[in-house]
Amino acid sequence: MKLLLFDVDGTLLLTGGAGVRAMERAGVLVCGQRFSLDSVVVAGGMDPYIFAEAAARAGIENVDELHETFYATYLRELPMELEAGRAGIEVMPGIMPLLETLRCRDDVSLGLLTGNYRQATPIKLRAAGFDPAWFAVGVFGDDASNRPALARLAMQQFEVMYSQSITGEDTIVIGDTPRDVACAQANACRSLAVATGRYSVLQLQDAGADVVVENLLDPQPLWDMLDGQSSGSHLF
């Protein structure tokens, strides 16, 4: 059995900036007007560390003490921002039919590997029409201190859930940023990079992704990876 680990923002969906707006609003409410995400790279980041970096840049000293309050405030703000910006929520091309097909296969397990907070992830998924239950495995930004560690946790979850071991060769990380690619590389996993976020095909190729696609309207590259036909860096 293969394990497919999907990133969320930029890979499965886009919120039209609702997530960033909610996080920034929560940060201002908790930390004051100095809080801003303008200078923070959020793509491929981990929510707790995005907050910590922005708060530190704003000169906030008791960052750790404020985190729990920030998290709770963000969870309150996120649904409101998603509802207000509903027209900007977008499912990435080809994702829904791809997931429908994958869910019918008995040789793959679907998982999430995302820097989003655990409790924020289903809020975003449901707003875009996804059922969180489609994903048997799930690791989130508040589960580990870095993204590579999340992949290891996901593989451990898989092994407990299915009572069988899993190798990096049988694990595919699907994401839209160089951080997703690096996460896969750090765990000897394979990577399928999609240029549906802020990074271009060339940037994802330069990051060393095994396979790079513009989007997943054509799922053949993934089928080839599942069948063991793709090796080295390929563009589709």
Domain boundary among 50, 67, 87: 87
Give me the pLDDT at residue 232, please: 46
In the predicted structure, residue 233 carries a pLDDT above the cut 60: no
pTM of the full predicted structure?
A: 0.95
Whole-angstrom Cα Rg for the chain? 17
110 and 6, same structural domain? Answer: yes
CA 138-143-144 angle, 5° bins: 125
CA distance 226 to 149: 23
The one-character DSSP state at 168 is G
Q: Model confidence over 18-33: pLDDT tens digits?
A: 999 999 999 999 999 9
187 and 77, same structural domain? Answer: no
69 and 106, same structural domain? Answer: no
Q: For a pLDDT cut of 70, what percent of the chain falls above it?
A: 97
119 and 32, same structural domain? Answer: no
Domain boundary among 87, 115, 148: 87
Residue with tokens 């886009």: 14
Q: Model confidence over 176-218: pLDDT tens digits?
A: 999 999 999 999 999 999 999 999 999 999 999 999 999 999 9
Domain boundary among 87, 122, 140: 87
b/e per residue 98-115 (b: at least 16 CB within 10 A) = bbeebeeeeebbbbbbbb
Give me the pLDDT at residue 230, please: 58
77 and 166, same structural domain? Answer: no
Domain region containing 33: 18-87
Q: Model confidence over 74-120: pLDDT tens digits?
A: 999 999 999 999 999 999 999 999 999 999 999 999 999 999 999 99
In the predicted structure, residue 231 carries a pLDDT above the cut 60: no
Residue with tokens 């509903």: 86
168 and 108, same structural domain? Answer: yes
Give how many domains the chain has, as a whole number.
2
Amino acid type, 214: E
Give me the pLDDT at residue 57, please: 94
In the predicted structure, residue 236 carries a pLDDT above the cut 70: no
Sign, Cα dihedral of 129, 132, 137, 138: positive
